[in-house]
Structures are given as C-alpha cells and as structure tokens.
Amino acid sequence: MNDTSNLFSSGELTVLGISGQGMAFVSSYGSMCEVDVTPGEPLTVDEDYLVAWAEGLSMSRQRDGSIKSTMLGGERCVTEFSGDGHV
C-alpha cells in the first residue's frame, strides 16, 4: 500500500493506494455505487462521499463555493475525475 495522504492539503481526506491480485474490502458510512467516467463525461464528486477510484484517472481538486454549498455550511472540496475508469 502506498500512503499518498499529502496529495491533498485537507486534513480530512486520506488517500491510500492498493494494488495486486485478489479481493479488497472497503467500507463507508452508507451504501456505495460505482460510476463510470469516460472521456466525454467527467465526474465531479464531493470529497465527503468519495471512497475509491481507478488508477489512471486524471483528477483535479477544487473548492465548491456555490450558493447552495455556502447555505449548507460553507465551501466544500470536490474532486473532478476525467479519463476512462470507475469511481
């Protein structure tokens, strides 16, 4: 496993890498669903709901300062994934 927790400046998100053959078990607070990312359809995810993503996806992190976000508690961090893979 690779610890890349310094990839993001937020202390709230810890990123770990996993590789190899076999099964991996992950858990979250609530149910999980897999979403396809294609070159024509990037995906933006609130980091509070981000669990895992495929290696090779391009990603950019930004703050969401929309009115909705501000009314619900301030700026939130979101990650946009692009390329070809799964989140």
Structure confidence by residue, pLDDT tens digits, 25-54: 888 888 889 999 999 999 998 888 888 999
pLDDT at residue 82 above 70? yes
* Mean pLDDT in residue range 6-31: 74
* Mean pLDDT in residue range 48-74: 75
Token reading at 86: 């799964």
- Structural domain of residue 9, as residue ranges? 2-86
Listed residue (36, 86, 44, 87) closest to 69, CA to CA: 44
* Mean pLDDT in residue range 57-66: 80
Given a contact cutoff of 8 angstroms between Cβ atoms, the answer to whether 69 and 47 are in contact is: no
Q: How many residues does the structure list for the chain? A: 87
Residue 72: band (very low, low, confident or very high) from pLDDT cuts 50, 70, 90: low
Q: How many domains does the structure of the chain reveal?
A: 1
Q: How far apart are CA 40 and CA 80, in angstroms?
A: 13
Higher pLDDT, 82 or 51: 82
Q: How far apart are CA 67 and CA 84, in angstroms?
A: 31
